[in-house]
Amino acid sequence: MPILFHEKTKQFHLHNGDISYIFCIMPNDQLGHLYYGKKIRDQEDFSHLLELGFRDMSPCVFEGNAKFSLEQVKQEISVYGAGDLRSCGLHILQEDGSQTVCLEYMAHEIVPGKPLLEGLPATYVEDESEAQTLRVFLIDKWLDCQVELQYTLYNSLPVLTRNIKISNSGKQTIRLEAAMSMSLDLPDKDYEMIDLTGAWGRERHIQTHPLHYGIQSTYSLRGHSSHNYNPFIGLKRKETTEFLGEVLGFSLVYSGNFLAQVEADTYDVTRVMMGIHPNGFSWSLSSGEAFQTPEAVMVYSDQGMNKMSQTFHELYRTRLVRGIWRDRTRPILINNWEATYMDFDEDKILGIARSAADVGIELFVLDDGWFGKRNSDTTSLGDWYPNPDKLPSGISGLARKITDMGLKFGLWFEPEMISKESDLYRKHSDWILSVPYRAMSPGRNQYVLDLTKPEVIDYLDESLSKVLSEADISYVKWDMNRSMSEVFSAGKESGVQGKVYHQYILGLYELYERLTGKFPEVLFESCASGGGRFDPGMLYFCPQGWISDDTDAIERLKIQYGTSMVYPLASMGSHVSAVPNHQTHRSAALATRGDVAYFGTFGYELDLNLLSGAEEARVREQIEFMKKHRELIHKGIFYRLASPFDGNITAWMVLSKDKNRAIVGYYRTLVQVNGGYKRLKLAGLDADKKYRISDIAGERSCYGDEWMEIGILLNDSTSGDYHSKVPKGDFLSRLFLLEAE
């Protein structure tokens, strides 16, 4: 039984082979947190872990007992307004203006499996035996408000998922001013916080910093999870590396405004909270109503950051992504965006598709510019019907011609947006998120549709369904190209405007649910100006996402490396594009561009007709390579070996689960003249197996222990060795293939 309740001591112990999570019902019937970390043996009584201590100034729970203060004990759920004086995860404003809440234990149940979260994406189980769920019901007796804390422990992964649900059974209307999905108090502050920061074109760069007293956080208030921060944080020990040491990962399965906050208080207790950002959120609950928070996922590793990431990869690839594309081989695609932008007609598109079919590409994706009068970004969003001037045979005709070539056909949409210059705007100018009497801020010349309105969801459902059912479409790229501002739903009363950000996301999820349900064979890829909404919430609907508009191979090293902290390779859209690169004007070799893009879903974003014969031959080889190895790349175990954030070298590898095959990607940004000897140590291999490694320089065989402890000799600086086969110059890459003998 992985989830235990010790009746006598009133303690819960959630444990599997890897982790223990322990909390108790305290003497005042509230919940106190006792331990989270590496598995420890079970015992009846862990009450010595409840650290009580006298502190001047602290409010206490009982008169005459100065040692029991909510400011001091570690809480299982942190609630604003009583004795806990730290930043709290649940804040309830009541009709009389009071904000004090006291949540006492009422009941609990332990159920097999994992319940679904209504209206929200979440990790799941396929079989009830995969996990157990603990539901603890708390009550504020004065308000008659119940709070359910839900914990699911996976049996064979170091993963605990959490969410809370607040149900108002009382008579008064209450208002949630904050409702975080989880809060966790850790007994020291000796951590470094890892987060993924960036901006458009440089998403998910890894940032690490030691905790300081006070609050440190990442967040989004942009209406989408954002390019700037990702809904993930890690807390690692100072000495933790990619391979050794403890790290706690926290990830939120949500696509809108979020807050991931760490408070190190001045008694050295660390409080981690994660959930919907309280700014812009204010949720009234009348009698009988309930609010469900999104799911937070906690991953524990005592084997470094690679192990944390591998756990996230396994969980998200197999128990968050759904549908037939979860396990299917991902198609190698070509996308026309960087080849043509919006300047195309049917002939041009067919020309690119023909060359793609010829080299072995499997899917052609028509990007922005096919609908309404869309020849620039000033027009037509919302008018989801083909432009006959560009596409005389429509989307269905074009799709037929392309599928006749043996390719699948995919199409770009940006469903959530509207251009003022559109038929949709002329009919429904009131469908925009905006404050009617104030100026609206355009972003990329477009505005955000109000997805809190059912009629908007219906319109989008109908118009997209029409296109998808009239043509042979196998893939949808669902884009979203501006952040939200003036978030207000016209026609709704003032009391519900604090719900709009979240209701928008619920509307988006509903639209996705309808369309993915109606078109289960279609592969959906999410995109938001590149990686502006690359989050676990999206993965529930879209097995893959476009991680960045920056297609430069060298820039992508950092973006892919950072993204891999949480997200599996099978989810990372990665393409080979033309040189000079459109974002950086850099020219990396075609081989390097391919060697980087292999570690993702893989495809091309250029006009193959413009390649030389030698380049075309190289493209054919790349496609053949990816077809041969994509199962290993997408489903294998990924290791980060050398970080682009640390210097000139990047390296990573994927290893098959049986440890018989591996592919190592090695990238050196700038060449060094007559440099020293360098070695790349591999990871995860079977020390006792002999592996043959092949790369451009030849083949060698050694036992796994040697490849891991001594490594591959990388003799690739320039020197007098003019005849070596190893490529020279800047932006070099090498792939090493390992095969157990």
Of 321 and 417, CB closest to ligand GLA = 417
Q: Which of 46, 283, 384, 412 binds ligand GLA (CB under 6 A)?
A: 412
CA-to-CA separations, 731 to 205, 518, 555, 576, in angstroms, rounded: 19, 45, 11, 14
Question: Which of the following is catalytic: 265, 549, 552, 607?
Answer: 549
C-beta of residue 725 within 8 angstroms of C-beta of residue 697:
yes
Distance in angstroms (rounded) separating the CA atoms of residues 434 and 489: 7
What H or E segment, with its residue span, contains residue 627? helix 613-635
Q: Is 71 an interacting residue with respect to ligand GLA (CB under 6 A)? A: no
Least distance in angstroms from the C-beta of 455 to ligand GLA = 26
Distance in Å, CB of 367 to ligand GLA, minimum: 5
Residues 12, 425, 546, 598: which binds ligand GLA (CB under 6 A)?
Answer: 546
Binding segment (CB under 6 A) for ligand GLA, from list 307-315, 523-531, 658-666, 669-677? 523-531
Q: Nearer to ligand GLA by C-beta: 94 or 230? A: 230
Name 677's Cβ contacts closer than 8 Å, sequence gap at least 6.
713, 714, 715
Neighbour-count burial of 324, counting CB atoms closer than 10 A to its CB (0-12 exposed, 13-18 middle, 19+ buried) = exposed
Q: How far is residue 541 from each of residues 100, 317, 321, 356, 525, measured CA to CA in Å?
A: 39, 12, 7, 28, 9
Subset of 125-154 contacting ligand GLA (CB under 6 A) = none
Count the site residues for ligand GLA by CB under 6 A: 11
> Residue 337 or 384: which CB sits closer to ligand GLA?
337
Instruction: Tell me how far, at minimum, the Cβ of 343 lies from ligand GLA, in Å.
Output: 12
Residue 84 touches ligand GLA, criterion: CB under 6 A: no
Query: What single string gives the DSSP state of each residue in 425-439?
Result: HHH-GGGBSS-TTSP
CB of 414 to ligand GLA, least distance (A): 7
409 sits near ligand GLA (criterion: CB under 6 A): no
Helix (H) or strand (E) holding 273, with range, is strand 270-276
384 binds ligand GLA (CB under 6 A): no
Rg (CA), the chain: 27
Longest CA–CA span in the chain (Å) reads 87
Told to check if 368 binds ligand GLA by CB under 6 A, we report yes
- In contact, 618 and 591? CB cutoff 8 Å: yes
Nearer to ligand GLA by Cβ, of 411 and 506: the residue is: 411
**Binding-site member from 133, 481, 560, 622 for ligand GLA (CB under 6 A):** 481
Q: What minimum distance in Å lies between the beta carbon of 438 and ligand GLA? A: 27
**596 sits in which H/E element:** helix 590-597
Chain residue at closest Cβ approach to ligand GLA: 368
Helix, strand, or coil (residue 539): helix
Q: Which residues contact 181 (CB under 8 A, 6 or more apart)?
A: 162, 163, 164, 252, 274, 275, 276, 293, 294, 295, 296
User: Which residue in the set 103, 527, 576, 680 belongs to the binding site for ligand GLA (CB under 6 A)?
Assistant: 527
Q: Is 549 a catalytic residue?
A: yes
Question: Minimum Å distance from CB 202 to ligand GLA?
Answer: 14
Beta-strand runs (E) in 621-729: 637-642, 649-655, 661-668, 678-680, 690-695, 698-703, 712-714
Q: Which of 158, 249, 275, 530 binds ligand GLA (CB under 6 A)?
A: 530
In angstroms, give the least distance from the CB of 200 to ligand GLA: 9
Residue 55 is encoded by which pair of tokens?
Answer: 């502190």
In the complex, the smallest distance separating the C-beta of residue 369 from ligand GLA, rounded to whole angstroms, is 8
* CA dihedral (60, 61, 67, 70) positive or negative: negative
CB-wise, 88 or 366, nearer to ligand GLA? 366
Quickly tell me which residue has 């006298």 as its tokens: 54
Q: How far is CA 716 from the centre of its chain?
A: 36
Task: Indicate the residue among 301 and 335 with the shorter CB distance to ligand GLA.
Answer: 335
| Nearer to ligand GLA (CB atom), residue 365 or residue 398 | 365
Name the residue nearer to ligand GLA (CB basis): 337 or 602: 337
Q: Considering the complex, what minimum distance in angstroms separates the CB of residue 368 from ligand GLA?
A: 3
Classified as helix, coil or strand, 496 is: helix
**Which range, of 390-398, 524-532, 581-589, 641-649, touches ligand GLA by CB under 6 A?**
524-532
d(CA 174, CA 157): 38
Nearest approach in angstroms of CB 551 to ligand GLA is: 9
Q: Count, in order, helices (H) and strands (E) of the chain.
A: 12, 39
Measure the CA–CA gap between 15 and 1, rounded to whole angstroms.
Answer: 8
Which residues are CB-neighbours of 461 under 8 A, at least 6 positions away? 511, 514, 515
Segment interacting with ligand GLA (CB under 6 A) among 191-199, 349-357, 527-535, 725-733: 527-535
Least distance in Å: CB of 663 to ligand GLA? 27
Nearer to ligand GLA, 330 or 453 (CB): 330
Choose which of 230, 529, 583, 592 interacts with ligand GLA (CB under 6 A).
529
- Cβ proximity to ligand GLA: between 337 and 667 the closer is 337
* Closer residue to ligand GLA (CB): 227 or 678: 227
Looking at this protein, which amino acid is placed at residue 183? S
Query: Which residue among 367, 383, 416, 607 contacts ligand GLA (CB under 6 A)?
Result: 367
Q: Token match 């592969």: residue? A: 523
Residue among 693, 711, 720 nearest 651 (CA): 711
State both tokens at 226.
């954002």
> Could you say which DSSP state residue 674 is in?
T
CB closer to ligand GLA, 186 vs 339: 339
Q: Which residues pair with 249 in a beta bridge?
A: 234, 299
Encode 94-138 in three state secondary structure. Answer: CCCCCCCCCCEEEEEEEEECCCCCCCCCCCCCCCHHHEEEEEEEE
Pairing of strands 159-168, 174-186: unpaired
Q: For residue 436, give the amino acid letter.
A: P
Interaction between residue 337 and ligand GLA (CB under 6 A): yes
- 10 Å Cβ neighbour count for 682? 24
Separation between Cα atoms, residue 359 and residue 617, nearest integer Å: 8
Segments of 414-520 assigned E as strands: 417-418, 447-448, 475-478
458 is catalytic: no
Cα–Cα distance for residue pair 187/276, rounded to 1 Å: 25
Q: Which range binds ligand GLA by CB under 6 A, 4-12, 226-234, 279-287, 526-534?
A: 526-534
Type of residue numbered 155: N
549 near ligand GLA, rule: CB under 6 A: yes
Nearer to ligand GLA, 30 or 526 (CB): 526
524 binding ligand GLA? (CB under 6 A): no
Nearest distance in Å: CB 201, ligand GLA:
10
Of the residues 18, 479, 552, 595, which is catalytic?
479
Distance CA 716, CA 728 (A): 7
479 binds ligand GLA per the rule CB under 6 A: yes
Q: How far is the CB of 514 from ligand GLA (least distance, A)?
A: 23
The SS3 of residue 75 is strand
Residues that bind ligand GLA (CB under 6 A): 337, 367-368, 412, 479, 481, 527, 529-530, 546, 549
Catalytic residues: 479, 549
